[in-house]
């Protein structure tokens, strides 16, 4: 078992890691496709969960056979997703307790997500964690998507900490690879939508943060 307090800094992916939002994103994508005249389901999201927004959107265009402009798709999705987030997003079991423990130990903590800034800030505000983190890295802050380590390397730089002193929490194979390529140990979070992902390089896999407390 990893000694989770034996680090100076902790970086958390957001969707599927800090919060149980991947299923909400999948539902919003399916609803968007239906609104655009196509057909899609939450199950279609399993194949691309963890991928870049462009990859995810292209997949749903293909699955649902829709042809609307991407700007319109993004607009509909944002409305659908914000509605679901505001009423249904839930914090992963034990996450708030772990964050409180880390703060009490004066640890540095941050969020590193491939989501856009509006998604990340909206979710963190909804779950009352918007003032918890020392750094927030979103899609707009980097040029390359996970598994490229750019986002994690940027977080390490902003926190003025080393990879050896940092523990990462991730729920996708690309996220785990990004964390490992940044030189950090990574704990994988397993849930219903990532059963096909490769967690072999994770230092540990858990279902929620209660297992660490």
> In this predicted model, what pLDDT tens digit does every residue of 132-146 receive, in sequence order?
999 999 999 999 999
pLDDT tens profile 148-178: 999 999 999 999 999 999 999 999 999 999 9
Q: Which residues contact 141 (CB under 8 A, 6 or more apart)?
A: 151, 154
- Residue 144: phi and psi, rounded to 5, are -120, 135
C-alpha distance from residue 87 to each of 15, 24, 66, 160 (Å): 16, 10, 28, 36
Please give the class, per CATH, of domain 9-20+91-212. Answer: alpha beta
Closest CA to 2 of 188, 149, 200: 188
CA–CA gap between residue 90 and residue 95 (Å, rounded): 10
Residues annotated as catalytic are 13
What are the extents of the domains in the chain?
Answer: 9-20+91-212, 22-88
Predicted TM-score (pTM) of the model is 0.92
């Amino acid at each position: 078992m990893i000694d989770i307090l034996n680090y100076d800094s902790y970086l958390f992916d957001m969707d599927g890691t800090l919060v149980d939002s991947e299923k909400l994103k999948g539902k919003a994508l399916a609803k968007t496709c239906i609104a655009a005249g196509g057909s899609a389901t939450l199950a279609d999201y399993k194949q691309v969960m963890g991928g870049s927004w462009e990859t995810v959107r292209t997949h749903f265009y293909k699955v649902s056979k829709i042809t609307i402009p991407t700007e319109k798709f993004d607009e509909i999705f944002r409305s659908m997703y914000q509605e679901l987030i505001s009423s249904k997003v839930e914090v992963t079991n034990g996450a708030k307790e772990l964050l409180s423990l880390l703060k009490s130990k004066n640890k540095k903590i941050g969020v590193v997500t491939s989501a856009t800034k509006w998604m990340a800030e909206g979710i963190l505000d909804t779950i009352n964690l918007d003032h918890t983190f020392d750094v927030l890295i979103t899609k707009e802050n980097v040029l390359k998507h996970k598994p490229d380590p750019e986002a994690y390397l940027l977080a390490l730089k902003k926190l003025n900490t080393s990879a050896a002193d940092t523990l990462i929490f991730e729920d996708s194979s690309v996220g785990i690879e990004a964390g490992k390529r940044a030189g950090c140990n990574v704990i994988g979070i397993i849930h219903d939508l990532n059963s096909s992902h490769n967690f072999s390089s994770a230092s540990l896999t858990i279902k929620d943060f209660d297992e660490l407390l």
